[in-house]
Amino acid sequence: MFGLLKGRRRKKLKAAPFPAEWLEIVERNVALYRRLPEADRRELLGHVQVFLAEKPFEGCGGLAITDEIRVTVAAQACLLLLHRQTDYFPRLHSIIVYPTSFVAKTVKQEGPGMIAEGPEARLGEAWLRGPLVLSWDDVLADASGSRTGSNVVLHEFAHELDDEDGEANGAPALERGQSYADWARVLGAAYERLRRDAERGRESVLNDYGAESPAEFFAVATECFFEMPVDLRIQQPELYEKLEEFYRQDPTTWKETMDDGR
């Protein structure tokens, strides 16, 4: 019964007119939205309305949460939901936003028997079964379409997808017909390739932060898939194909946009 009521409520939210002031924010701030086909834009805006009705935001470090913050984050996060039979990041219960990069305590393995602890500046963080944390300055900069391959919202929400099956290991829950064996083979090989490239100082279309772990690799690959799809497809065609199959999208076919937002 609860699932039926939730489905009806979501359907009603999607069908409601999208607020004009929200649309202005999306068109101004989110470069990827301007590249989408018209049908995908309509689907995305429906997802945004559901997302914002269900996910609470909290400002930290003196930041007051505004519609600009909420809509800019939601429009990017919901790109990961297009065309897919999935829920709205069900393990995510809140989104915390700082005005700029924030400091988190980290514990790292530096070598055999050596562990380093200390503060580290971060742009975003997804806690397993906890809140998702973002830096607003970096959210806005990445959303503008700088084409550096970096997008903190896509990165952190990819972690949320990875965690949907209860384990953040670089293997999100696949839909029927998608092979876990093929996923492990292709992404495992691409991950090892990035690790070798990072160790040897070789450049890659993928940010070498993805060499940290399979979970970080999936998040970095997701950023690159949406932000630099042509480069990723050229350099790593098998990886691109697997991400295209998972996300049911082909960003290489999206139109280009001018820097002024037109």
Q: Is 102 exposed, middle or buried (0-12, 13-18, 19+ CB in 10 A)?
A: buried
What is the model's pTM? 0.88
The per-residue pLDDT for 129 is 65
In CATH, the architecture of 169-252 is 3-Layer(aba) Sandwich (3.40)
Please report where in the chains the tokens 């990723």 appear, as a residue. 232
Q: Which residues of the chain have pLDDT under 50?
A: 106-119, 258-262
Q: Which conformational region is residue 257 in: left (phi greater than 0), alpha (psi within -120 to 50 degrees), or beta?
A: beta
Which among 50, 57, 56 is positioned nearest to 81, based on CA atoms?
A: 50
Where along the chain do its domains lie? 169-252
